């Protein structure tokens, strides 16, 4: 048998774990850079893994030396070293006992990852390309007059507005809702000296997300951008808790309009892979972009069961290996799906009822699947998810899955 292609993966969390679950049957080897026993490593044993941080340049180079292509499950990585690996190469032994440089392609492109890392720059770029976004302004550096800058944002946007850390945020951990001038002091203290920006508050009707696959030919020319269906995402305290496919109570044309905006966004990026485009649906029907993730995403977990022929993970692998089937159309195999995140509760056993329920609810009209990430439970941490797929409408599915929804809500209460 030919040597299996090796995909080097920066980050070994749950997204990496599900990527590995898809890679096995497809005959791809995944080399993971993360801590020993990280969720992805638990699910994928081989002697290519690297132990260490996906922020450590030396470890990233070691990973690259063992890989045919590099990809990420998290955008908060060192893009300087990714640029060097893709353009100059890493040292590998040559046949004469010396060393030579090997260039390893990075997908999505390091330029895309670098742009997306800075949420402010990311949206400035999208704005310049004519993509609808919420108004935003940079906040003065710590040390300069931050409070005056927060005041200026209030004058522009009114209260409340959203203050965001430009880099390193996830699960809303870099967000601060500024409700009044009394919040300025706390905001400055809580946000520390990281770069900040302010965003107009968006009184959205619904949050949506669209996964998009981006393929390129060998020369790096854009081939296709293909959307998955738009889904409705529910965020509580800025963390995604539930996903509904299709969105409940959305006008018929929302699907196509959301997909159009998402595809426009992804056509302006670089490299191959899957991308999540998080969107706000406004009351007047307008769809605006919140942010992009250059990788598989929480809102796309449901595709494992609802689009089994091409889940977001399989799509990521096929796209980066330039092996995406020609003329493929992304068509869900079921009319409805819902996903509930399992977030760690106050006690390590807080989620036991929820996981137990997932084992009981499957019936003739609904299949329920549990995904445990093999992570230690901590309050608010994503430690697993449950997907229910339905054989009729989303409203019927929601009715049948009510115990799951209630159990997840009870944990948060």
Binding positions for Mg ion, rule: CB under 5 A: 278, 291
Q: Could you tell me which of 185, 183, 228 has the C-alpha nearest to residue 209? A: 228
Q: Two tokens at 286?
A: 């307008």
Contact 275, 269 (CB under 8 A): yes
Burial class (CB in 10 A: 0-12, 13-18, 19+), 117: middle
Q: 207 is in the binding site of which of ligand ATP, Mg ion, none (Cβ under 5 to 8 A by kind)?
A: ligand ATP
CA distances from 153 to 131, 186, 196, 197 (A): 22, 16, 12, 9
Among 169, 194, 322, 355, binds ligand ATP (CB under 6 A): 169
Phi, psi of 96 (to 5 degrees): -90, 10
Q: Is 376 exposed, middle or buried (0-12, 13-18, 19+ CB in 10 A)?
A: exposed
Contact residue for ligand ATP among 172, 246, 335, 403 (CB under 6 A): 172
117 lies in the binding site for ligand ATP (CB under 6 A) = no
Distance, CA of 124 to CA of 128 (rounded, Å): 6
Of 78, 84, 183, 278, the one binding ligand ATP by CB under 6 A: 278
Residue 103 parent element (H or E): none
Residue 78 or residue 199: which is nearer to ligand ATP going by CB?
A: 199
The reply on whether position 73 binds ligand ATP by CB under 6 A is: no
236-265 mask for ligand ATP (x: CB under 6 A)? --x---------------------------
Select the span of 14-22, 108-116, 167-175, 352-360 touching ligand ATP (CB under 6 A): 167-175
Residue 172's binding partner out of Mg ion, ligand ATP, none, with CB under 5 to 8 Å set by partner kind: ligand ATP
Residue 183 sits in the site that holds ligand ATP (CB under 6 A): no
Q: Give the per-residue contact string, 212-241, with ligand ATP (x = CB under 6 A; - = no).
A: -----------------------x--x---
Q: Contacting ligand ATP (CB under 6 A), which of 83, 137, 138, 201?
A: 201
| Cβ neighbour number for residue 81 with a 10 Å cutoff | 20
End-to-end CA distance of the chain: 54
**Chain residues that interact with ligand ATP, rule: CB under 6 A:** 134, 162, 164, 169-175, 199, 201-202, 207, 235, 238, 278, 290-291
């Amino acid at each position: 048998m030919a040597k299996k292609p090796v995909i080097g993966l920066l980050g070994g969390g749950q997204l990496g774990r599900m990527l590995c679950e898809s890679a096995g049957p497809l005959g791809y080897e995944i080399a993971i850079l993360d801590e020993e026993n990280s969720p992805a490593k638990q699910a994928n044993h081989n002697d290519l893994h690297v132990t260490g941080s996906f922020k450590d340049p030396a470890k990233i180079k070691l990973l690259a030396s063992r890989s045919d292509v590099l990809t990420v499950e998290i955008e908060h990585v060192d893009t300087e070293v990714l640029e060097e690996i893709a353009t100059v190469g890493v040292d590998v032994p040559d046949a004469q006992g010396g060393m030579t440089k090997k260039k390893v392609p990075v997908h999505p492109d390091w330029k895309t990852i670098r742009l997306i890392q800075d949420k402010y720059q990311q949206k400035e770029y999208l704005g310049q390309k004519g993509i609808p976004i919420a108004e935003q302004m940079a906040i003065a550096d710590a040390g300069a007059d931050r409070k005056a800058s927060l005041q200026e944002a209030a004058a522009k946007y009114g209260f409340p507005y959203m203050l965001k850390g430009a880099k390193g945020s996830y699960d809303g951990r870099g967000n601060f809702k500024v409700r009044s001038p009394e919040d300025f002091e706390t905001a400055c203290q809580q946000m520390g000296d990281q770069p900040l920006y302010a965003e107009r508050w968006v009184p959205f009707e619904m949050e949506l997300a669209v996964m998009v696959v981006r393929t390129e030919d060998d020369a790096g020319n854009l081939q296709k951008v293909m959307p998955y269906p738009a889904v409705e995402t529910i965020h509580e305290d800025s963390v995604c808790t539930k996903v509904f496919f299709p969105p409940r109570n959305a006008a018929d044309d929302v699907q196509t309009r959301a997909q159009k905006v998402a595809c426009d966004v992804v056509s302006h990026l670089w490299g191959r892979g899957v991308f999540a485009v998080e969107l706000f649906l406004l009351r007047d029907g307008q769809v605006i972009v919140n942010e992009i993730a250059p990788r598989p995403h929480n809102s796309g977990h449901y595709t494992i069961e609802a689009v089994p022929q091409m889940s977001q993970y399989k799509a990521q692998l096929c796209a980066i290996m330039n092996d995406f089937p020609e003329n493929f159309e992304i068509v869900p195999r079921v009319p409805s799906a819902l996903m509930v995140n399992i977030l760690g509760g106050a006690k390590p056993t807080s989620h036991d009822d929820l996981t137990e329920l997932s084992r009981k609810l499957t019936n003739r009209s609904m299949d329920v699947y549990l995904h445990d990430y093999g992570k230690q439970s901590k309050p608010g941490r994503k430690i697993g998810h449950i997907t229910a797929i339905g054989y009729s409408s989303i409203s019927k599915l929601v009715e049948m899955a009510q115990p799951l929804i209630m159990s997840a809500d009870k944990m948060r209460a």
